[in-house]
Amino acid sequence: MATGWADVGVRHASGWESIRLLQFSDGHTYFENAFAQNQSDREALFGQAIALLNVQPRTEGNIQQAQALLESLIEKNAGDTYGLAARFFLARVELMHAEPADRPRAITRLLALADEAPQSVWGELALLKAAPFLLYGNMSEEKRREALHDLEKRGARLTREEIRRPLFLTLAQACFHYDLEPERALSYLMAADVDRVQRWQRRADAYVQIGNLARETGDLALARTYFQKFYDEFPRDSRHYMVGKILQELPGNEEVAP
Amino acid sequence: MAPQTVSLRKALHEWRLYLIVLPSILFVATFSYYPAISAVYHSFFEWQGGEVKQFIQFTNFRRIWNDQVFWSSFGVVSILIAANILKMVPSILLAVLIHRLRSDKWQYYYRVLVVIPMIVPHLVVLFIWKFFFDPNLGFLNRILDATGLKTVLVHMDSLFGWGVFREGIPIAWLSTPDLIVPSLIIWGFPWIGAVGVLIYLAGLQAIGTEVYEAAELDGATSWQKFKFIEFPLIMTQIRIMLVLLIIGTLQGFGLQLLLLGDSGGAGGRGMVPGLWMFNRGFVAGEFGYACALGMVLFFFILFLTYINNKYVRVDK
Amino acid sequence: MNRDRIMNTIGFSLVAFCFLWAAWRIMDRGREAADPDRVVIRFAHWQLESGIRGAFDELIRQYEERHPHVRVEQMLIPERVYSNWLITQLVGGTAPDLIEIGRPMSDERMARYFTPLMKEVNQPNPYNEGTELEGLPWRDTFVDGLAGSPSYNPGLLDFYGVPTAMFTVRLYYNKDLYRRIAGDRPLPATYDELIELCDLVHAYAQETGEVLIPIAGSQYNAPMILLQLWTSLTQKMALELSTTYNLILPSDQAWMHFLKGNWDYSNPSVSVALTAMREVGRHMQSGFLSLLRDDAMFYFVQGRALMTASGSWDIGSMYAQAPFEIAAFPIPMPSRNDPKYEDYILGPLSEAGYSAGAAFGLVQQSKHPEEALDFLRFITSQQGNQTFSDISLWLPSVIGVELPEKVKPFDLIVEGYTGGVVPYFGADGQRVFRNYLHTLLDYDGSPGEFATIMTERMPGAVIEGFRLSHAGRIRQWRRGDSLLGSLIMLSESETSEELDRVRLAETLEAAVDQETMMLWVESEFETMGLSLEY
């Protein structure tokens, strides 16, 4: 994993730790105090905004305040890490936090960020987070395929595997939900490099999905390889016995090379 | 006597008395008022009972407007209120009978007999009644079988087409939809509540003997004494009990929860507003919505209490 | 002194004595807690079942023998009041060191009051030295690998509990009565054989005049059989409906298919399942739907029923209360080799994915976290868990623990298949299902009547279920944004560890499932002209 994702030194680890542990009020108080001590501390300003999104009780006032803080970060410097981060979260606020949400505008913002800062973590995250909104919803199948194709190309250029992987998983999910051809779903799962999926449930699912998709598309060696991976790694999964039976019934005994 | 105005200086002069009252005030504020205020506050939130909550203005109340389960539960509770009003009669009659005993010693013994069952916790009584209703081992079905009443019920069923009493099939009181409300009404037979008896008795004992002497001189019968003397003179107590009964029945759900479960039993026939509130809070995890239901229930109770106070007259 | 004065003096003395004794007990505890040479660890749980307390007492004795400076206290809290007691203790700062988790608790509360154990569970358990588990990370010594709830919290991406037992469900039976009724006949292995056994019980009861029922049911026990029948007989239907190629049909997808009309209550799988449920329900006592767990237990231990369904958590209680010999066997399901069922069923339900329970979390307020954790390691070592299982008769949570004879029938069935469709969705779905189950199981009920009512009432309940789950996803999504920001910043800090980066990757992966599911539900609802708003 690339170190220094945000390319910035972090001074308020304990504030961020509070937020990580869902103690949003504590985190907000911490960053508020830090900002009071140093008004040029962009990290503290950023921290306040991030905490405010979930300080309880959740009110419109808090969300608007968070928006204002993010806008002030952009105003002072739109190009540094905090400026980019603020653009990302401002779009997220419009997408999911503000009432009413403004999804079209939020998606436009995210795509603009992805285009303007493709190498930065925030640009890459913007693409990842815009992807589901470009794929789901009422649209023609043609439009959906176009979106998949476009995201596939852009996804291949992502430099951070921890962002690239979930993007391809998203593309695969869309294929499943909208019943698109199995070859396409299979290609996305292979591009996701599922061996490195951290969540074991998702990795188990991915192995079984690849095995079944490969079976359907006639690639029995690939099917066997991934069913075997699942069988070896997940003895405590309720599908273990089923997959064992499938392996027994699969003709031939080839596997793909690692 | 007209109320006297007390000067601030005089009031503050007795500051020690306020200190004595302070613990009780704090207690009531913490355990009675604070939860109520918190419920009002949370009724405007989407709240799952933890720390996460979102202010949603009147969305919960708009939802209540279309909540069919909630409104139909008032139908059930209305039947229970009517039944409970009728169930006040045995307590009143027993109080009158005890009051008319000439021997003070026997009055005392009967009062003790009425009070002793109060020792048994209410929850235990509910469990015992649940066992009474057991289709196969319960006391109720065994009595009906032994006395032949079951056969009578079966005949009546075939006559009226109820479809609930069948020969050879134990009566499932709590899992047959049409028997759920009758079971909730039967519960507590013979419906003699110690608290009610004692309250009515206190009221009756305040009636002077000269009133009875005058009635006897006029040749009043027992029934006339009850109708013209005792009943009117204990109306204050009856009104108090009526208010408590209505509030208790409207709010209550412990009986239904224990006997029928949190979904109101077969067909949801036993669903009452309090139980729906419990269901939304503790089963569906919608505590904010449950608080809003509680608010609506509160206003209902307030309204009925107002009606009771205005129209149930106490003529002295 | 007159009589009144004597009585008053006695009364006052009693009150004073009680007060002084209580005060002394509190001060004594405080003194003990303040004694630097003496460590007192307290752990609390709600398992009042027979044998559990004794098992923990024995483990405490063994642990105190090894560590004379440590005293361990067990606190038993009734289940009914456990949640309230827990919150009061945590907020009040008086919580014991180790607390059984597993009751509903928000992630925020879990994070605030309990210690995450990621580092600890990835280290070996020293109490496993000399065994086959030596050197293995602590988490890998558990049957479930600490993979599921309550041990692992997916919202917080960390481990918060260490479990002591696994749980399965079986049919308990009265061995003496079985011999009298069925002689040497082998135990039923299939559903049809179970029904035949039930018929034998009726015939025997009629012959002897005894009041006997085949299966003691209640609103607690009956669903264990009925829902398993439903889940088994909809296995193939679930696979056919699944579009995600992972051999599983999650409940939200299953019920979205229902709303879209891809299956309904006239589906052959469902009809067969309802028929089987009615058939087995007729072999339970009249009115069982209104009875509680203890009522069914009472029927069974009184010898009025041949069988009853319950979990392995009741082994100790059953053996303690039954005056006859008891045993257990898996709830027989329809056979896949039977032409009547082969189109619907794949095979026995797999228990391989079950998560261990009776898990204990370490409270942040603990004054002796190291000692408390050490005690937890001790009781969940192979030796410790063996002792626990031997005395409590609960299924062990640790690999390699030999099952006591009485517990063997409860061992996990791993050679099995995934389950079918879940019979209801959401709290409202469950309410509707329960409220109208009588139309299926009553004397004059029928699968057709139940199907008609469910067709009418279930869609509304399912829509409610989606509204609630959608609102829950939105809350998680919003929370996830703050979490994402904090994880990215933490990955930057000087104290950043590999763990922070792993969490970041996991968070991004988890968000994919959340976000795509949420948007899919929205788009499907829009297509159907339904609303997720109130």
A242 contacts C417 by C-beta, under 8 angstroms:
yes
d(CA B44, CA B289): 8
Question: Which of C286, C297, C467, C479 is best to mutate for the B interface (most B CBs within 10 A)?
Answer: C286
Which one is predicted more confidently, A123 or B11? Answer: A123
C434 domain-assigned: no
> Which regions of B6-116 does DSSP assign to beta strands (E)?
45-47, 53-55
The answer, for C2 touching chain A at a CB cutoff of 8 Å, is no
Decide if pLDDT at A38 tops 60.
yes
Residue C426 lies in a domain: no
| Spatial separation of the C-alpha atoms in residues A97 and C481, rounded to whole Å | 10
Bridge partners of residue C114, in order along the sequence: C363
Is pLDDT at C33 greater than 90 in this prediction?
A: no
The ipTM assigned to this model is: 0.93
CB C90 within 8 A of CB C363: yes
Beta-carbon contacts of B6 under 8 Å, excluding residues fewer than 6 positions away, are: none
Give the angle subtended at the CA of C182 by the CAs of C179 and C186, to the nearest 5°: 90
Contacts with C417 from chain A: Cβ below 8 Å:
238, 241-242
What whole-number distance in Å separates Cα of residue C521 and Cα of residue C426?
Answer: 15
Tally A–B CB contacts below 8 A: 14
**Which residues have C-beta within 8 Å of that of residue B196, sequence separation ≥ 6?**
B88, B91, B92, B95, B241
Local structure of C174: helix, strand or coil: strand
Give the C-alpha separation, B179 to B185, whole Å: 10
Interface list for chain A against chain B, based on CB atoms closer than 8 Å: 56-60
Burial of C442 (0-12, 13-18, 19+ CB in 10 A): buried
Structure confidence at residue C157 as a pLDDT band (50, 70, 90): confident
Higher pLDDT, B118 or A151: A151
Res B77 pLDDT > 50? yes
Name C307's bridge partners: C173, C215
Pull the structure tokens for residue B213.
């002497």
* pTM attached to this predicted model: 0.89
% of chain A surpassing 90 pLDDT: 80
Chain A neighbours, 3+ Cβ pairs < 8 A: B, C
Among C219, C442, C534, the residue with its CB nearest the CB of B63 is: C534
Chain A within 8 Å of B53 (Cβ-Cβ)?
Answer: yes
Is residue C100 domain-shared with residue C184, that is, in the same domain? Answer: no
| B24 HSE (CA, 13 A, CB side) | 5
Q: What is the mean pLDDT of residues C48-72?
A: 93
pLDDT at B181 over 90: yes
Residue B45 and residue A57: Cβ atoms within 8 Å?
Answer: yes
* Pairing outcome for strands C305-311 and C39-45: unpaired
* C-alpha distance from A59 to closest chain B C-alpha (Å): 6
User: How does DSSP classify residue C407?
Assistant: G
How far, in Å, are C151, C287, C304, C469, C474 from residue C514 at the CA level?
21, 42, 50, 11, 9
Higher-pLDDT residue of C263 and B54 is C263
Say yes or no to pLDDT of C436 above 90: yes
The verdict on a CB contact (< 8 Å) between B134 and C295 is yes
Q: How far apart are CA C505 and CA A163, in angstroms?
A: 8
Residue C327, pLDDT above cutoff 90: yes
Decide if C430 and B263 are in contact by the 8 Å CB cutoff. Answer: yes
What pLDDT score was predicted for residue B215?
Answer: 87
Give the amino acid at B185. Answer: I
pLDDT computed for residue C385 by the predictor: 97
Question: Per residue in C216-255, pLDDT tens?
Answer: 999 999 999 999 999 999 999 999 999 999 999 999 999 9
Q: What CA–CA distances, in Å, run from C249 to A244, B98, C167, C473, C510?
A: 19, 69, 23, 19, 18
**Residue B273 exposed, middle or buried by CB count within 10 Å (0-12, 13-18, 19+):** buried
A134 CB within 8 Å of a chain C CB: no
Q: Nearest chain C Cα to B46, which residue?
A: C471
Question: Residue C67: beta bridge partners?
Answer: none
Q: How far apart are CA B295 and CA C374, in angstroms?
A: 50
To the nearest whole Å, the CA of A54 is away from the closest chain B CA by 8
Closest residue of chain A to B54, computed from CA coordinates: A58
For the cut 90, the answer to whether the pLDDT of residue B50 exceeds it is no
Cis peptide upstream of residue B190 (ω within 30 degrees of 0): yes
- Indicate the burial class of C198 (C-beta count within 10 angstroms; 0-12, 13-18, 19 or more): buried
Chains that touch B (3 or more CB pairs under 8 A): A, C
The CA-based angle C32-C363-C106, given to 5 degrees, is 145
Mean pLDDT of A223-247: 95
Which site among B129, B134, B179 would you substitute to test the C interface, given the most C Cβ atoms closer than 10 Å to its Cβ?
A: B134
DSSP character at residue B33: I
> Minimal CA–CA distance to C403: which of C156, C151, C168?
C168
A59 vs B contacts (CB less than 8 Å): 54-55
Q: What's the maximum distance between 2 C-alpha atoms anywhere in chain B?
A: 80
Look at residue A258 and tell me whether its pLDDT is greater than 60: no
Question: Which of C516, C524, C526 should one mutate to test binding to chain A, selecting the residue with the greatest count of A CBs within 10 A?
Answer: C516
Q: Could you tell me the residue range of the domain that residue C142 belongs to?
A: 33-168+355-410
- Output the pLDDT for position A2: 39
Which residue in C33, C28, C126, C25 sits closest to C71, CA to CA?
C33
Chains touching chain C at 3 or more Cβ pairs under 8 angstroms? Answer: A, B
Enumerate the residues of chain C whose CB falls inside 8 A of the CB of residue B134: 287, 291, 295
| C488 contact residues in A (CB cutoff 8 A) | 5-6, 85, 121
Name the band, by pLDDT with cuts 50, 70 and 90, for residue A6.
low
CB B114 within 8 A of CB B192: yes
Residue scoring higher pLDDT (A240 or B15): A240
Residues C49, C313 contacting (CB under 8 angstroms): yes
Residue type (1 letter), B142? R
Alpha-carbon dihedral angle through residues C217, C221, C226, C227, given to the nearest 10 degrees: 170
Which residues of C have a CB under 8 Å from any CB of B? Answer: 104-106, 108-109, 211, 213, 219, 285-292, 295, 298-299, 304, 426-428, 430-431, 434-438, 442-444, 468, 471, 475, 479, 534
Give the model's pLDDT for residue B315.
Answer: 55
Rg of chain A over all Cα atoms, to the nearest angstrom: 22
Which residues, in sequence order, are CB contacts of B297 under 8 Å at separation 6+?
Answer: B250, B251, B273, B274, B277
Chain A touched by C246 (CB under 8 Å): yes
The more confident residue out of C363 and B239 is C363
pLDDT of residue C34: 62
| Interface contact B121, partner C, CB < 8 A | no
Q: Is the pLDDT of residue C456 over 90?
A: yes
- Which residues in chain C have Cβ-Cβ distances shorter than 8 Å to A132? 512, 515-516, 519
Predicted confidence band at C3 (pLDDT cuts at 50, 70, 90)? Answer: confident
| pLDDT tens-place string over residues C333-357 | 999 999 999 999 999 999 999 999 9
The pLDDT, as a whole number, for residue A1 is 37
Cβ <8 Å between C286 and B170 = yes
The amino acid sitting at B173 is: W
User: DSSP letters of B130-194?
Assistant: HHHT-TTT-HHHHHHHHHTHHHHHHHHHHHHT----BTTB---TTTSHHHHHHHHHHTTTT---H
Of the two residues C256 and A251, the one the predictor is more confident about is C256
Mutate to test the interface with C, among A242, A248, A249 (most CBs of C within 10 A): A242
Locate the chain C residue with the closest alpha carbon to B60: C534
Paired tokens of C68: 């004379």
How far apart CA B41 and CA B48 sit, in angstroms, is 14
> To 10 degrees, what angle do helices A141-156 and A121-135 make?
160
pLDDT single digits (tens) B134-156: 998 889 999 999 999 999 999 99
Contacts of A115 (CB under 8 A, 6+ apart): A123
- Check whether residue C320 and residue C342 sit in a common domain: yes
* Fold adopted by B65-133+173-311: MetI-like fold (1.10.3720)
Give tens-digit pLDDT for B253-297. 999 998 998 999 999 999 999 999 999 998 888 999 999 999 999
Question: What integer is the mean pLDDT of C470-478?
Answer: 90
Q: What share of chain C has pLDDT > 70, as a percent?
A: 98
Looking at residue C533, what is its pLDDT? 87
Number of domains in chain C: 3
| Contacts A60 to B, Cβ<8 Å | 55
Q: How many CA atoms lie within 13 A of B191 on its CB side?
A: 16
Look up residue A178 and give its two tokens: 């909208």
Q: C162 forms bridges with which residues in the sheet?
A: C360
Is C390 or B210 the better-scoring residue by pLDDT? C390
pLDDT digits (tens, 9 = 90+) for A72-98: 999 999 988 999 999 999 999 999 999
In terms of domains, do C343 and C385 share one?
A: no
- What residues are paired with C73 via a beta bridge? C42
For residue C310, tell me if it sits in a domain: yes
B295 at C interface, C-beta within 8 A: no
Residue A123 in tokens: 């640009």
CA distances from B62 to B65, B293, C449 (A): 5, 11, 34
First to last CA, chain B: 19
DSSP secondary structure, chain A, as one string = --S-SS-S--S-HHHHHHHHTT-HHHHHHHHHHHHHH-TT-HHHHHHHHHHHTTPSSB-HHHHHHHHHHHHHHHHH-SSSHHHHHHHHHHHHIIIIISSS--HHHHHHHHHHHHHH-TTSHHHHHHHHHHHHHHHSSS--HHHHHHHHHHHHHHHHT-S-HHHHHHHHHHHHHHHHHTT--HHHHHHHHHHTTGGG-SSHHHHHHHHHHHHHHHHHHT-HHHHHHHHHHHHHH-TTSTTHHHHHHHHHHSSS------
- Among chain C residues, the shortest Cα distance to A216 is held by C245
Q: Is the pLDDT of residue B105 over 60?
A: yes
- The reply to whether B227 touches chain C by the CB within 8 Å rule is no
C151, exposed or middle or buried, with CB in 10 Å at 0-12, 13-18, 19+?
Answer: buried
pLDDT confidence of residue A3: 44
- Count CB atoms within 10 A of the CB of residue A251: 7
Q: Is the pLDDT of residue B313 over 80?
A: no
Asked if residue B304 has pLDDT above 70, the reply is yes
User: Per residue in A52-62, is it b (16+ CB within 10 Å) or e — as a string?
Assistant: bbbbbbbeeeb
Burial class (CB in 10 A: 0-12, 13-18, 19+), B185: middle
Let me know: does A53 contact A65? Beta carbons within 8 Å.
no
> What mean pLDDT do residues C293-299 have?
91
Specify the CATH number for the domain of residue C77: 3.40.190.10
Contact: C442, B260; criterion CB under 8 Å: no
The pLDDT score that the predictor gives to residue A7 is 64
- Neighboring chain B residues of A57 at a CB cutoff of 8 Å: 45, 53-55
Q: Which residues in chain A touch residue C491, judged by CB atoms under 8 angstroms apart?
A: 3, 5-6
Ordered by start, the domain boundaries in chain A are: 193-258
Looking at residues A119-131, what average pLDDT do you find? 95
When scoring B47, B55, B58 by the number of chain A Cβ atoms within 10 A, the one with the most, hence best to mutate, is B55
A37: pLDDT strictly greater than 70: yes
* Nearest CB neighbour to C434, from listed B49, B134, B263: B263
Same domain flag for C154 and C188: no
* Mean pLDDT value of segment C487-508: 83
Name the residue type at position B89: V
Per-residue confidence (pLDDT) for residue C84, from 0 to 100: 84
* Residues C328 and C385 reside in one and the same domain: no
